[in-house]
């Protein structure tokens, strides 16, 4: 019997907090991991990139609260690798910038464990950038220094060279300095920095909860105490702080700091969540529905097998397109199966999904209003034409009824079924949310079911719907609708949210 293949450890920098700042190489390592050992500062959406069967071990360390000691973490990495596993050690920021990644790499090397280092964007650079503070600027400074404000507590004395750190011609960036801020400020002033030198403290940099406090070296300690700002935070000392008011951008977004509940299925939530992160909002993913096979899968398979017998095939959602091609793939067929059958897609996202499968739809109504869709199809078909309507099992009958009234032969086939789900953290997510978004009538119904019919949990929330059909379902359920997208897509909903909160 051959020996088990040796494992390998990837020391991956998760970046400063915004999941969009994770490197592509880091994302690939996570997607291939058997085990992830992650820190407190690793954003949940990044951890969620791991495969479903990946083991996740929390090893976070905060002041006075360590899930695992550093020695325990190192031994865990060695043991997992010796078991032949692909291990990702996911660390906030960059592994080699005050992340103790150097110590872990040294221990792995000593144990004969193969490893790699995948750098991450350090908060020393990212947090100031998101606060509108460039670390270098031709008019202010041509250099910067990054130092820790929290040294090894077992050292007999500090080895920070305050004489060099207190250079008025450079920008000084301090990480992990909140616990010793008073002492650091005192030392900097003792070594010559003036009390009026600008200082910024950036809490939770690059995240929707980012807070930036600007003061001077003389007033910063009192200002931090008054504002209640705590770790994690990055401290920037230097004249470049003066630029913040002119070039700040992240916290000027209309959605900055807003907490937005996403109710669409989990597999479709990632794109919307990423867009919200880019706008400075905090997405709260709480899928109210799941996509499951229809009650009569045999009928679905027959419709797919007989697709060439139809004059038109109408797809009402991305889920329907995906379901169709899953069935098609099981018989080793592809887009050529459509033959001369013409295709309609309800909405631009459904059309895009079809194109990705090699099918170019001939009719794409942008507004999913049954009357308009039916009229468009009637204009493009003839009496007696056979039409396949491939859609959700629970969809309304308005569209097929209008087509039949116009003399079209319509087969309504369930592509999939939606079932209600209730996330484990639903109550806490809803309580935190300021905005609740709905992308279909079924997400509304799932939300009402999760509430148990008691709408008090939604009181005071801004209700945003992707289009009039969804909005009608929300109003019928007793929810006051505040926002309806002009373009019935996630992009349209996001644009409408930005306009409404500007």
Catalytically annotated residues:
39, 61, 176
Tokens of 151: 């040294």
CA 402 vs. chain centroid, Å, equals 40
Interacting residues of 460 by C-beta distance below 8 A, sequence separation 6+: none
d(CA 403, CA 68): 64
Element at 148 (helix H, strand E):
strand 144-148
User: What's the Cα-to-Cα distance from 203 to each of 133, 208, 214, 235, rounded to whole Å?
Assistant: 14, 10, 12, 9
| Cβ atoms of residues 212 and 183 within 8 Å | no
Q: Give φ, ψ of 246 to 5 degrees.
A: -85, -35
* Maximum Cα interatomic distance, the chain, rounded to a whole number of Å: 91
d(CA 429, CA 44): 14
- Of 370, 436, 362, whose CA–CA distance to 402 is shortest? 370
d(CA 180, CA 151): 10
Q: Is the peptide bond before 232 cis (omega within 30 degrees of 0)?
A: yes
Tokens 């403290």 belong to residue: 201
Q: Give φ, ψ of 318 to 5 degrees.
A: -60, -40
Tell how strand 233-237 and strand 171-175 pair up.
antiparallel
Strand 8-13: give its sheet, edge to edge: 55-58, 35-38, 86-91, 8-13, 114-118
- Of 313, 375, 321, 316, whose CA–CA distance to 342 is shortest? 313
Q: How buried is 110 (Cβ within 10 angstroms: 0-12 exposed, 13-18 middle, 19+ buried)?
A: exposed
| Cβ atoms of residues 97 and 123 within 8 Å | no
| Cβ atoms of residues 261 and 153 within 8 Å | no
| Cβ atoms of residues 122 and 205 within 8 Å | no
User: What's the Cα-to-Cα distance from 27 to each of 21, 294, 389, rounded to whole Å?
Assistant: 10, 34, 38
Q: How buried is 405 (Cβ within 10 angstroms: 0-12 exposed, 13-18 middle, 19+ buried)?
A: exposed
Tokens of 371: 């009357």
| Cβ atoms of residues 94 and 122 within 8 Å | yes
């Amino acid at each position: 019997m051959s020996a088990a293949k040796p494992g390998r450890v990837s020391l991956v920098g998760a970046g400063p907090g915004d999941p969009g700042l994770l490197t592509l190489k880091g994302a690939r390592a996570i997607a291939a991991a058997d085990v992830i050992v992650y820190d407190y500062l690793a954003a949940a959406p990044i951890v969620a990139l791991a495969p479903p069967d990946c083991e996740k071990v929390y090893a976070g360390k905060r002041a006075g609260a360590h899930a695992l000691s550093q020695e325990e973490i190192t031994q865990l990495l060695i043991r997992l690798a010796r078991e032949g596993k692909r291990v990702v050690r996911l660390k906030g920021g960059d592994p080699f910038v005050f992340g103790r990644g150097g110590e872990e790499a040294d221990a792995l090397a000593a144990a004969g464990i193969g490893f790699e280092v995948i750098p991450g964007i350090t908060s020393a650079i990212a947090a100031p950038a998101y606060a509108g503070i460039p670390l270098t600027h031709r008019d202010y400074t041509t250099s910067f220094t990054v130092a820790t404000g929290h040294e090894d507590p077992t050292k007999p004395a500090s080895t920070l060279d305050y004489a060099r750190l207190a250079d008025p011609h450079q920008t000084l960036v301090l990480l992990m300095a909140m616990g010793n801020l008073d002492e650091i400020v005192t030392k900097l002033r003792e070594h010559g920095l003036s009390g009026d030198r600008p200082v910024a403290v950036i809490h939770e940099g690059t995240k929707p909860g980012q807070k930036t406090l600007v003061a001077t070296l003389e007033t910063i300690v009192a200002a931090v105490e008054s504002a209640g700002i705590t770790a994690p935070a990055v401290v920037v000392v230097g004249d470049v702080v003066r630029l913040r008011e002119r070039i700040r951008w992240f916290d000027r977004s209309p959605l900055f700091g807003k907490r937005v509940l996403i109710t669409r299925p989990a597999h479709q939530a990632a794109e919307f969540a990423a867009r919200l992160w880019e706008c400075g909002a905090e997405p709260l993913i709480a899928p109210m529905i799941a996509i499951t096979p229809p009650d009569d899968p045999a009928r679905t398979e027959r419709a797919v097998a007989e697709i060439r017998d139809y004059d038109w095939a109408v797809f009402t959602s991305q889920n329907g397109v995906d379901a169709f091609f899953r069935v098609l793939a099981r018989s080793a067929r592809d887009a050529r199966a459509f033959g001369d059958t013409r295709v309609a897609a309800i909405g631009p996202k459904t059309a895009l999904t079809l194109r990705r499968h090699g099918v170019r739809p001939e009719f794409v109504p942008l507004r999913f209003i049954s009357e308009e869709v039916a009229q468009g199809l009637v204009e493009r078909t003839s009496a007696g034409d056979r039409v396949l309507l491939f859609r959700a099992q629970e969809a309304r009958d308005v569209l097929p009824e209008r087509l039949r009234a116009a003399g079209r032969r319509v087969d309504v086939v369930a592509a999939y079924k939606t079932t209600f789900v209730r996330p484990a953290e639903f109550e806490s997510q809803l309580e935190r949310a300021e905005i609740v978004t709905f992308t279909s009538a079924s997400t509304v119904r799932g939300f009402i079911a999760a509430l148990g019919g008691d709408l008090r949990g939604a009181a005071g929330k801004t209700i945003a719907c992707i289009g009039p059909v969804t909005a009608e379902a929300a109003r019928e359920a007793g929810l006051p609708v505040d926002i309806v997208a002009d373009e019935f897509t996630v992009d349209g909903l996001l644009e409408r949210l930005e306009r409404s909160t500007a």
